[in-house]
Amino acid sequence: MTTTSTDTRKRRKEARPAELLSAALELFVERGFAATKLEDVASRAGVSKGTLYLYFDSKESLFKAVIEQGIVPLLDEGEQMLLQHRDNAHSLLQEMIMRWWQLLDGSSLGGIPKLMISEAGNFPDVATYYYDNVIVRGRELMRQALLRGISTGEFRKLDIESAIDVVMAPVLMLAVWRYSLAPCGCGKQDPQAYMQTYLDILMNGILNKEQHK
């Protein structure tokens, strides 16, 4: 089959949104939201600024699309995991935590937590979008996993809202460290050992010891 120039242009056009989102994510993480300019995103993606505007009308819309394409699918996956998981609650919780870390560890999306911490105060609309679409849904996933374990007696009774914060904080801290002090050579961490130690401490802290004697 002969590939025509029209076919090539069509494929190129269809690829552009993904290329723009990839470029935007890289620049947001490297420079921060405030310092990233739309023309820089277009340049890194290899298109003109005018072409970028065919797909995204602002830097805020670019950021929202990065979240929708990169992080929201993982939340969708987590919700399906809750519905389909038939094993014990602690394996569900560990699986959810490790899946979240794999996302943060495996791409520039791992720089988003640091970006939000540093930029939220200056861009409240962006922060609110992230909170509503990522943090709220992520907390609900943790809430349901913890409640499942408590209801079956597998986990001891906990203050759920505080427990959610404690469960999520170490993973976020590891991601923040990777995109802040780690590039400066300030201390070394073994992420695999960190996660294994964290999960060991977490699970031994929340398991109902009476049930697991």
Task: With beta carbons less than 8 A apart as the criterion, state whether 16 and 50 touch.
Answer: no
Q: Both 121 and 18 in a single domain?
A: no
What is the average per-residue pLDDT within 199-213? 83
Task: With beta carbons less than 8 A apart as the criterion, state whether 112 and 100 touch.
Answer: no
Kindly tell me if the per-residue pLDDT of 83 is higher than 60.
Answer: yes
Q: Both 13 and 98 in a single domain?
A: no
Under DSSP, the state recorded for 111 is G
Task: List the structure tokens of 150.
Answer: 């408590």
pLDDT at position 212 is 55
CATH label of the domain that carries residue 13? 1.10.10.60
What is the average per-residue pLDDT within 33-38? 94
Is residue 29 in some structural domain?
yes
Kindly tell me if the per-residue pLDDT of 4 is higher than 70.
Answer: no
Kindly tell me if the per-residue pLDDT of 199 is higher than 90.
Answer: yes
Q: Which residues, 6 or more positions from 152, have their beta carbon under 8 angstroms from its beta carbon? A: 88, 89
Q: Which residues, 6 or more positions from 117, have their beta carbon under 8 angstroms from its beta carbon? A: 176
Higher pLDDT residue, 102 or 133? 133
Determine the length of the chain: 213
Q: Both 114 and 9 in a single domain?
A: no
SS3 71: coil
φ and ψ at 207, to 5 degrees?
Answer: -65, 145
Kindly tell me if the per-residue pLDDT of 5 is higher than 80.
Answer: no
Q: Both 121 and 171 in a single domain?
A: yes
Domain count, the chain: 2
Q: Both 171 and 117 in a single domain?
A: yes
The percent of residues above 90 in pLDDT, for the chain, comes to: 69
CA 145 to chain CA mean position, Å? 18
The 10s digit of each residue's pLDDT in 124-143 is 999 999 999 999 999 999 99
Higher pLDDT residue, 87 or 66? 66
